[in-house]
Amino acid sequence: MNIYRRVKQMSKHLAKPEKTKKNPVIDFSAKEIHIPEKKQKKKTKSHVSKAEDTFQTAMLNKTLDRKFSLSELALAIAALVLLVVVNFLPTSGIVRLLSFLVPFLLAGYSYLFEAFQEAFMGIVLGRELIVTVASLMAFCAGSYNGGAAVMIFLKLSDMALAYAEMMQAEKVNALYSLRPEKANLVNENTVSVVKAETLKKDQVIELYAGDVVPTDGVVIDGTSVLDASTLVGGSLSFPVAAGSTAISGCVNVTAPIRVRVATEQKDAMYSAVLRAAENSWMHKSSQERLIQKVVSYLTPALVIAAFLLAIVPSISTGDWRTWVARAAVILTVSQLYSVVQSVKLVYDCAAVYASARGIVFKGHDVIEALSRAETLVFDKTGTVTEGKYQVKDVFPKGVSESQLLFLAGAAELSSNHPIARAIVAASGAYASDVKVLDVEETPGRGVCAFIDGRNVYVGNAAMMEEHGVEYDMPTVPGSAIHVAIDGRYIGHIIVDDALRDGAFDAIEELRMSGAKTSVLLTGDVHSSARKIASVLNFDLVKAELSPDEKCKAVEYLMSNRNVNTTLAFVGDGICDTDVLKCATVGIAMGCFDKPDAVEACDIAVLGDDIHQLPKAYQAADRAAGAAFLNTVVCSAVKLLIAIFGAAGVVGLAAAAFLQCAAVMFESINALRILNYEENRQKPRIKWRKGRLNRERSDESFI
Ligand code: ADP
Ligand code: MG
């Protein structure tokens, strides 16, 4: 498979680099903020065109073609030793040529075969064909040493890359092995063991203590505790009973439960998460796209240059041996496959490293964008706060306290919002007690429901104003949830949420790692927002926002960010999936049980631990740094070899050795990402010029 021809073909189809958007003029003082139609369009992730996909498949096949094998490595090393030995043998003429052909064939027999195939298929820029031609040119020019060295070092560098790929694949396999292969299917009164992948929707399975949930479903019988530690990469367990969701990948800890299957195993949460990590290479970073583009022009240019170098000076000087040997050096330099592959490998390693820690990077482009994020925007509820509200106070008006709570609880029964869950829990309302019709939830506002022939509104001040209800100003701290029946105000409920454990440290760590500006956006009231923002030292804060206004604020901040930097929005996936799509990088936290959030975001942090955020940020930073280093090292080595090779300073053997050394360095660099151990390393502090501009934390943004 010729990747260069593919590269050339595909470069025509590659997505054009994102043009710098014109800064939209946004009037933040305006009450009504209209989002232009096109901005409301859901952000499409960097889709892979069909043509590009073919290319990627070719690349993947290429990778699979060249598996690491100890015998191949041993053969290459034996060939290298033999090369050194024959170098010192006092032979001459045809015997000397034949003695060099032995290590050449030992290391290069498979490349010769592939080169023959490429020549037969007319793939003139095939990697193996070019290297073979370079080798043969060296042999013709009398540089037997160089001719054999090219094949040997190519083999060694291929083995280095293949080894790194094998390590990465092993980690992916280790993650897959946590997915159970068998399940206990309940048929009438019998239980039979079946393959988990054959489970169908609505079938019932039984899980004993210690079993891993094979696919997503709903608990229908029994009570137990599910442990999601494997999935989220940290400790997380929660009780389940009839009606609770059972997420694939969780371990059933205490007692047997029965679960009704909701999705087939291939579509279950755990499979989706693994697939996202495994397929992240489909969404390439701009660096990879650029390299592929450069490669598509550079390879043919260098091949032409090599042939000109072999022909023109030979004709004028008559010393064809010298020039053919130099041209062979340039030919080997034209092989840029290792650059493409080593950068891809770095990002793949970062994606696998992260997924083992419950962080899903959905593309190489996402890792790159996160590494450049200087503005971090946080949603409040469920992100920097726990998202576990509690009812603190009840202020009824014209009804009793329990009546107010019951009506509010009944209206909130179907809502998934943390405030709704707190009110329902405090009210003692059950779905069986009351007939609730026409429930309508307005994100960032509240709910409206038809209960016993009356319209009940439960929500914030904005919701009351929207329905023309006059409400009381709350007199105690906390978030006030007002309640009205048929336009008549019947009081409010004060709810409060706690700051997440470690939120301060995590946000400080993000700042030290390079997140220059931190912003808090919330639909909650100013007082709560200000309190949280001052504790966590946010630079900017904006409260009482609807989800649309949050999108608008994110777009405003994106348009005001520094060139070459990006903006990341961190939400919990409840009411903010559109905002996740607006930001350059949308990060959903605590979403192991929220498939919608996983779908909408670019990075899914499955667990609830806010410390995962700096981990993700630093992993992205390390990956981008390693990818850059690999590109620079490889390009510098190739450039120097090209210059000094053309000048006759660097011979073919030295050129082959240096390129092999560069590939080995790149492979080790990628593996460092895969095997990074946080506890052993000191936190890296990234200083950036003109850090926080706290003056901007002004009221005008509020
Ligand atoms: P945040 O921006 O802090 O994550 P949300 O956007 O989820 O918060 O909600 C913003 C505000 O909207 C809440 O503080 C609350 O006042 C109101 N709200 C949203 N959903 C509901 C609901 N189901 N019941 C009552 N109030 C709600
Ligand atoms: Mg929220």
Q: Supply the pLDDT for residue 326.
A: 92
Q: Supply the pLDDT for residue 66.
A: 66
Residue 48: pLDDT over 60: no
Q: Name the pLDDT band for 274 (thresholds 50, 70, 90).
A: confident
Lowest mean pLDDT among 22-31, 278-287, 505-514: 22-31
> Residue 610 has which token pair?
């806010």
Q: Supply the pLDDT for residue 118.
A: 87
Nearest residue (by CA) to ligand 1, atom 14, is 524
| Residue 385 near ligand 1, beta carbon < 6 Å | no
Handedness of CA 530, 583, 568, 605 (dihedral sign): positive
**Closest-approaching ligand to the CA atom of 550:** 1
Residue 186: pLDDT over 90: yes
Residue 380: pLDDT over 80: yes
C-beta of residue 475 within 8 angstroms of C-beta of residue 578: no
Say which DSSP state 699 is in: G
Residue 38: pLDDT over 70: no
Q: What is the pTM of this model?
A: 0.80
Which ligand 1 atom is nearest residue 463's CA?
A: 17
- The single residue listed with the structure tokens 């929220």 is 594
Per-residue pLDDT, averaged over 206-217, amounts to 92
Q: Supply the pLDDT for residue 428.
A: 82
Residue 37: pLDDT over 60: no
Per-residue pLDDT, averaged over 342-368, amounts to 90
Other CB atoms within 10 A of residue 110 CB? 16
Q: Supply the pLDDT for residue 679.
A: 56
SS3 319: coil
- Of the chain, the percentage scoring pLDDT greater than 90 comes to 48
Model pLDDT for residues 389-442, shown as the tens digit of each residue:
999 999 999 999 999 999 999 999 989 888 999 999 998 877 667 788 888 999
Burial of 403: CB neighbours in 10 Å, binned 0-12, 13-18, 19+: middle
Residue 43: pLDDT over 80: no
Q: Name the pLDDT band for 695 (thresholds 50, 70, 90).
A: very low
Per-residue pLDDT, averaged over 691-700, amounts to 39
3-state SS, 274-304, equals HHHHHCHHHCCCHHHHHHHHHHHHHHHHHHH
Model pLDDT for residues 432-488, shown as the tens digit of each residue:
677 888 889 998 899 999 998 899 999 999 999 999 999 999 998 889 999 999 999
Cβ-proximal residues to 114 (8 Å cutoff; 6+ apart), any chain: 126, 128, 129
* Pocket perturbation via mutation, ligand 1, pick of 383, 548, 575 by most ligand atoms within 8 A of CB: 575
* Pocket perturbation via mutation, ligand 1, pick of 417, 447, 546 by most ligand atoms within 8 A of CB: 417
Distance between CA 11 and CA 168 in Å, rounded?
27
Q: Supply the pLDDT for residue 113.
A: 92
The better pLDDT of the pair 240, 172 is held by 240
> Residue 354 has which token pair?
């992260």
Distance between CA 48 and CA 5 in Å, rounded?
18
Residue 14: pLDDT over 80: no
Residue 359: pLDDT over 80: yes
Residue 121: pLDDT over 60: yes
Residue 198: pLDDT over 90: yes
Model pLDDT for residues 551-575, shown as the tens digit of each residue:
999 999 988 888 888 999 999 887 7
| Residue 258 near ligand 1, beta carbon < 6 Å | no
CA of 357 to the centre of ligand 2 (A): 24
Distance between CA 233 and CA 352 in Å, rounded?
12
Residue 272: pLDDT over 90: no
- Integer angstrom CA distances of residue 413 from 141, 241, 459: 84, 18, 14
Q: Supply the pLDDT for residue 678.
A: 64
Model pLDDT for residues 124-151, shown as the tens digit of each residue:
888 889 999 999 999 998 889 899 999 9
Cβ-proximal residues to 536 (8 Å cutoff; 6+ apart), any chain: 384, 499, 503, 504, 507, 518, 520
Q: Name the pLDDT band for 83 (thresholds 50, 70, 90).
A: very high
Distance between CA 411 and CA 496 in Å, rounded?
19
Per mean pLDDT, which of 91-100, 291-300, 620-629, 686-695 is the most reliable?
Answer: 620-629
Ligand 2 ion: nearby residues, β-carbon < 5 Å: 379, 381
- The single residue listed with the structure tokens 């506002």 is 445
Distance between CA 510 and CA 384 in Å, rounded?
13
DSSP H or E stretch at residue 603: strand 603-605
Per-residue pLDDT, averaged over 38-64, amounts to 39
Amino acid letter, 62: K
Distance between CA 409 and CA 175 in Å, rounded?
41
CA R_g for the chain? 31
Q: Supply the pLDDT for residue 431.
A: 66
C-beta of residue 581 within 8 angstroms of C-beta of residue 558: no
**Closest-approaching ligand to the CA atom of 444:** 1
Nearest residue (by CA) to ligand 1, atom 16, is 460
- Integer angstrom CA distances of residue 655 from 151, 154, 625, 638, 661: 12, 11, 26, 9, 10
Per-residue pLDDT, averaged over 590-597, amounts to 81
CB-hemisphere CA count at 13 Å for 335? 27
**Closest-approaching ligand to the CA atom of 497:** 1
The better pLDDT of the pair 644, 231 is held by 644
What length does the chain have?
702
- The single residue listed with the structure tokens 């920097």 is 384
Q: Name the pLDDT band for 699 (thresholds 50, 70, 90).
A: very low
| Average pLDDT of every residue of the chain | 83
| Residue 497 near ligand 1, beta carbon < 6 Å | no
Distance between CA 289 and CA 626 in Å, rounded?
16
> Residue 396 has which token pair?
């009824």
Q: Which residues pair with 499 in a beta bridge?
A: 385
Residue 682: pLDDT over 70: no
Q: Supply the pLDDT for residue 694.
A: 38
* Pocket perturbation via mutation, ligand 1, pick of 457, 481, 546 by most ligand atoms within 8 A of CB: 481
| Residue 446 near ligand 1, beta carbon < 6 Å | yes
Q: Supply the pLDDT for residue 96.
A: 86
- Integer angstrom CA distances of residue 623 from 168, 354, 356, 369, 457: 14, 11, 16, 11, 49
Distance between CA 517 and CA 204 in Å, rounded?
50
Q: What are phi and psi of 394, to 5 degrees?
A: -130, 130
Distance between CA 65 and CA 134 in Å, rounded?
22
Residue 692: pLDDT over 80: no
Residue 208: pLDDT over 70: yes
**Closest-approaching ligand to the CA atom of 389:** 1
Model pLDDT for residues 310-319, shown as the tens digit of each residue:
998 888 888 8
Distance between CA 212 and CA 228 in Å, rounded?
10
Per-residue pLDDT, averaged over 599-619, amounts to 90
SS3 379: strand
- The single residue listed with the structure tokens 């777009």 is 555
| Residue 415 near ligand 1, beta carbon < 6 Å | yes
Nearest residue (by CA) to ligand 1, atom 21, is 446
